[in-house]
Amino acid sequence: MVEQLDELYREVILGHFKHSAHSGELPEAQIHANGENPLCGDQVTFHLKLGNGRIDRVRFQGKGCAISQAASSMFAAALEGKTTAQARQLIEAMKALMQGTEPDDAIDLGDLEALSGVRKFPVRVKCAALSWNVVEQGLAGYQISKSSTNTISDIVVGAKNGRD
Ligand code: ZN
């Protein structure tokens, strides 16, 4: 499917797939969220380290198709340095982009822009969306834990499908 994308998009996507600056573990992260896309066999785990109200560092681990892993890499890069509110805006912008709505100019998508070509392939949208769906769950779980206790403990969010 990557072959069918525009040349520019294909290069950006394959670049992230072959080498991601954000792949790996992050033991000091407070949020660990994972999920899978059974339709394609994609799996991804995101590790987010928060500090001073911002997402300090992001790493991900996963396996699956080029779209799912490249999307995770781009999304990880875009998340770093954002506040959790900005991260939610970015997630909404990516959902809108996949539905064919051009996102607000104020939101810098960075390399994620390359995924706009994916919306022509509805099955592949699920591959791309895995990354932000996983992070959305992770952030939601973190928010709940923060409001229910005074101490912030590690959050582990698993896939709905039950397989870990
Ligand atoms: Zn996939």
What is the Å distance from ligand 1's center to 12 Cα?
17
| 27-44 confidence digits (pLDDT tens) | 999 999 999 999 999 999
What is the Å distance from ligand 1's center to 75 Cα?
15
Q: What is the pTM of this model?
A: 0.87
| 65-119 confidence digits (pLDDT tens) | 999 999 999 999 999 999 999 999 999 999 999 998 887 778 888 899 999 989 9
The CA distances from residue 113 to 93, 97, 117, 159, in Å, are 10, 9, 9, 26
What is the Å distance from ligand 1's center to 128 Cα?
7
Ion ligand 1 residue ranges (Cβ < 5 Å): 40, 42, 64-65, 68, 127
What is the Å distance from ligand 1's center to 150 Cα?
39
What is the Å distance from ligand 1's center to 42 Cα?
5
pLDDT of 155? 59
| 6-15 confidence digits (pLDDT tens) | 887 889 999 9
The CA distances from residue 17 to 13, 21, 79, 123, in Å, are 6, 10, 17, 19
